Chain A
Amino acid sequence: MEFIWPAIGHLFDPLNIFLMIVGLTGGIIVGALPGLTATMGVALMVPATFAMDATSGLIMLGAIYVGAIYGGSNSAVLICTPGTPSSVATTFDGWPLCKSGHADIGLFTSLLSSSFGGIVGTVMLLFLAAPLARFALQFGGPENFWLCIFGLSTIAVMSSGNMVKGLLGGALGLLVSTVGIDPNVGVPRFTFGYYPLVQGIEVIPAMIGLFSFSQVLYLVGSHKPFLADYVPTPGALKKVFHALTSRCKVILMRSSIIGGLVGMLPGAGGEIASIIAYNESKRWDKHPERYGTGVVEGLAASESANNAVIGGALIPMLTLGIPGSAVAAVILGALLAKGIQPGFKVFTATGDLAYTFIMSQFAVNLLMIPVGLFLARIMTKLLSIRLTFVAIGIVVLSVIGAYAIRNSMLDVWIVIVFGFIGYFSNLVGLDTGAMALGIILGPMIEENLGRCVHLSKASGDSVIAVFFESPIAVLLMILTALSLLTPLFLDWKRKRMEAKCACAPTSLKEGPPHA
């Protein structure tokens, strides 16, 4: 407690309040632009923090991080384009909400859920840092491999209508992720004789292509005058708040805890957390078939999880000096540049700084509500611009966003190619969400599978034996099996109910899709 009260005092410094607002605004804008990531936003601002004292600099970087992760949901809801990979699951229900004329419901749900998730993540950081950091250290190759497979099992829930096509979409994404240098032995693969492909398929341009450019093709082809009909819902914020505090309480809490736990695992970020949280939310829902049609529950799960990741990712960074995400790595760099050595001593030797940073995360997540509301109202104006202008504008933004990642024209071509793949996949029913999941998780799965193979060779056992040696891996295997079997069980249950009562099929689909 000796550090907490002075830390709270620092937050009322007008300069720090200003930096939090500026950081949040900048972060939300960067996050909302496809191609510009939270990592890029934070990295761009690191040099600016050198002119400030360490506390103010860290506060601003933390605010950008929080803003950017939330900002990704704005474009996910409004134009079906995840601004950051963490928002892929947000498109599943956010875009249907927008299409049905309830963009404000979608944006406000994302905002309040993100804020809640961020606060839960920070609580975990404040009170559970030490034990959770020790738990995270137990994650090696087999555990990470099964965590990713658990994330991948979401496909079964996501595409329960046609699971085979969903799985094939996922496999296609995984196969695409193998293009480039092999993560285990460094051999170039599947370059098709085109040398730049050695760099591999970058996740973000592939996402922009699958979700954004394919959406442009669809929208232009639809010949609609506007992106979506939008009439502001009277009392939308109040309705969303009521929905979240009544029927989404458990979802918010469960998803935030998932986010915090996944966030502290190095390499596993918001994209995995939000997808797992969405999956779990759908799995435990009484009417899972509503998911994907524009329900606040889906949005709440995805957005609370990806913002809770922030607190989780900061746990190993502050306590062990191991960043839990790319952004945490950049913040770690900024800390080191200031001569602050992360580790358990950071809470004693530089306790003032560490606790001010942690407490600022609470303040930032609360400040995000008014800042996010203000920006959300501006962003909904996008829906009143003629669709042709929005569509061709998205193409230009996609090009510069993709190019900005590695300064490579290859990434721009990836956008175009994956746009066509996404458009074709939508036509033939191959799930682009599953494909995106495959592209995101592919490198992690392969890298950890390679580690397991090396471990098995070193120990003289089989890979299967390596998997079963770890209790955490076994637990994850059981969860994966449950995740895969649940849709089959629910389908069986639904068919049984339909057989019992001829009028049941329509009643199952009752209930408004929005708040």
Chain B
Amino acid sequence: MRSRTSDIAAGLATLAVAGIFQAQSGDLEGVSLLFPRMLIIFMTIGGVFIFVSGLLTPRARVDEAPCELPPEEPVVVKRVATIALASIVYVGIIPVLGFYPASVLFLFCMAMILSDSSVTTAKRALSSAIFTVALCLAVWLGFALLLGVPTPQSMFF
């Protein structure tokens, strides 16, 4: 992201967070408000500073910037959105299906979707299935059996 855009976005995000916390601090008083209030004020000043400095950055300077900065790596937005959405769904279904069934579903589907598309579907399905079983087994052995770490309870079992 270019310096100008990132400054404006960072400034707005900071101001938004400060605003949300300010709105929530209504009933607080005394020592419990002291520290958050200091931070909210600091973030508001800093947010305005970054936002304004982003707005004031001349476009001509923006064009010069890429020479000084390392080239940004290309990002495949679709893949980022896919894993982000799938992770939300995964965490959402854990309390319903249970940790292991949800993990099997998540791992297999994601391995199929995100794996190298040049490989045949059958090969991808096989490698995804092996990976899913191996990881779930390793997690069960390491966490549940050896360390006795509990897994999230499901609605059904």
Residues of A within 8 A of B (CB): 29-30, 33, 36, 44, 164-165, 167-168, 171-172, 174-175, 178, 182, 184-185, 187, 189-192, 213, 216-218, 220-223, 225, 386, 388-389, 391-393, 395-397, 399-400, 403-404, 407, 409, 412-413, 416, 419-420, 423-424, 427-430, 445-446, 449-450, 453-454
Q: How many A-B pairs fall under 8 Å by CB? A: 176
Residue of B with least CB distance to A407: B150
Are B43's CB and A165's CB within 8 A? no
Kindly identify which residue among B31, B50, B80 contacts A453, using a CB–CB cutoff of 8 Å: B31
Kindly identify which residue among A30, A395, A453 contacts B87, using a CB–CB cutoff of 8 Å: A395
Residue of B with least CB distance to A392: B110
- Cα A181 to Cα B106 with chains together (Å): 35
Residue of B with least CB distance to A175: B39
Contacts of A397 in B (CB 8 A): 139
Residue of B with least CB distance to A427: B1
Question: Does B57 interact with chain A (Cβ within 8 Å)?
Answer: no
**Chain A at the B interface: mostly helix, strand, loop or mixed?**
helix
Are A386's CB and B83's CB within 8 A? no
Are A409's CB and B95's CB within 8 A? yes
Kindly identify which residue among A178, A221, A389, A413 contacts B91, using a CB–CB cutoff of 8 Å: A413
Are A449's CB and B77's CB within 8 A? no
Contacts of A454 in B (CB 8 A): 31
CB distance from B19 to the nearest CB of A (A): 12
**Additional pairs, 5, CB under 8 Å, beyond known A165-B10, A446-B35:** A172-B14, A218-B75, A221-B79, A399-B99, A430-B10
Contacts of A174 in B (CB 8 A): 35, 39
Are A175's CB and B90's CB within 8 A? no
Are B116's CB and A192's CB within 8 A? no
Asked if A396 meets B106 with Cβ closer than 8 Å, knowing A184-B31, A221-B77, the reply is yes
Are B84's CB and A400's CB within 8 A? no
Between A185, A189, A397, A412, the greatest number of chain B beta carbons within 10 A of the residue's beta carbon is seen for: A189
Name the interface residues of B89-126: CB closer than 8 Å to any CB of A.
90-91, 94-95, 99, 103, 106-107, 110-111, 114-116
Contacts of A409 in B (CB 8 A): 91, 94-95, 152
CB distance from A82 to the nearest CB of B (A): 19
Contacts of A172 in B (CB 8 A): 14, 17, 43
Contacts of B135 in A (CB 8 A): 393, 396
Contact sample, A vs B, 25 pairs, CB 8 Å cutoff: A165-B10, A168-B43, A171-B43, A172-B17, A175-B21, A175-B36, A182-B32, A185-B31, A190-B25, A213-B87, A220-B79, A222-B73, A392-B114, A395-B87, A396-B103, A400-B139, A407-B150, A412-B91, A412-B94, A423-B80, A428-B6, A429-B3, A429-B7, A430-B14, A453-B34
- Cα A20 to Cα B88 with chains together (Å): 41
Residue of A with least CB distance to B75: A221
Are A165's CB and B36's CB within 8 A? no
CB distance from B66 to the nearest CB of A (A): 15
Are B6's CB and A167's CB within 8 A? no
Question: Does B129 interact with chain A (Cβ within 8 Å)?
Answer: no
Contacts of A400 in B (CB 8 A): 99, 139, 143, 149, 151
CB distance from B135 to the nearest CB of A (A): 5
Contacts of A187 in B (CB 8 A): 28, 32
- Cα A174 to Cα B40 with chains together (Å): 10
Contacts of A392 in B (CB 8 A): 83, 106-107, 110-111, 114
Are B80's CB and A220's CB within 8 A? yes
**Nearest 7 Cβ contacts at the A-B interface:** A221-B80, A182-B32, A428-B10, A221-B75, A428-B6, A388-B114, A392-B110
Question: Does B76 interact with chain A (Cβ within 8 Å)?
Answer: yes
Contacts of A404 in B (CB 8 A): 143, 149-150
Contacts of B84 in A (CB 8 A): 217, 420
Contacts of B17 in A (CB 8 A): 172, 175
Contacts of B142 in A (CB 8 A): 29, 33
Residue of B with least CB distance to A183: B32
- Cα A419 to Cα B87 with chains together (Å): 11
Residue of B with least CB distance to A165: B10
CB distance from A510 to the nearest CB of B (A): 17
Are A36's CB and B46's CB within 8 A? no
| Cβ proximity bits B2-41 to A, threshold 8 Å, 1 near / 0 not | 0100110110011001100100110010111011100110
Between B35, B135, B149, the greatest number of chain A beta carbons within 10 A of the residue's beta carbon is seen for: B35
Kindly identify which residue among A167, A223, A225, A407 contacts B76, using a CB–CB cutoff of 8 Å: A223
Are B116's CB and A225's CB within 8 A? yes
Are B152's CB and A412's CB within 8 A? yes
- Cα A29 to Cα B143 with chains together (Å): 11
Residue of A with least CB distance to B39: A175
CB distance from A462 to the nearest CB of B (A): 13
Are A44's CB and B152's CB within 8 A? no
Between B40, B91, B150, B151, the greatest number of chain A beta carbons within 10 A of the residue's beta carbon is seen for: B91
CB distance from B156 to the nearest CB of A (A): 16
Between A175, A392, A399, A412, the greatest number of chain B beta carbons within 10 A of the residue's beta carbon is seen for: A392
Are B32's CB and A175's CB within 8 A? no
Kindly identify which residue among B24, B73, B94 contacts A192, using a CB–CB cutoff of 8 Å: B24
- Cα A120 to Cα B25 with chains together (Å): 46
- Cα A21 to Cα B116 with chains together (Å): 41
- Cα A392 to Cα B110 with chains together (Å): 7
Kindly identify which residue among A185, A190, A389 contacts B36, using a CB–CB cutoff of 8 Å: A190
Residue of B with least CB distance to A445: B35
Are A189's CB and B36's CB within 8 A? yes
- Cα A47 to Cα B137 with chains together (Å): 26
Asked if A428 meets B151 with Cβ closer than 8 Å, knowing A175-B40, A217-B84, the reply is no
CB distance from A228 to the nearest CB of B (A): 13
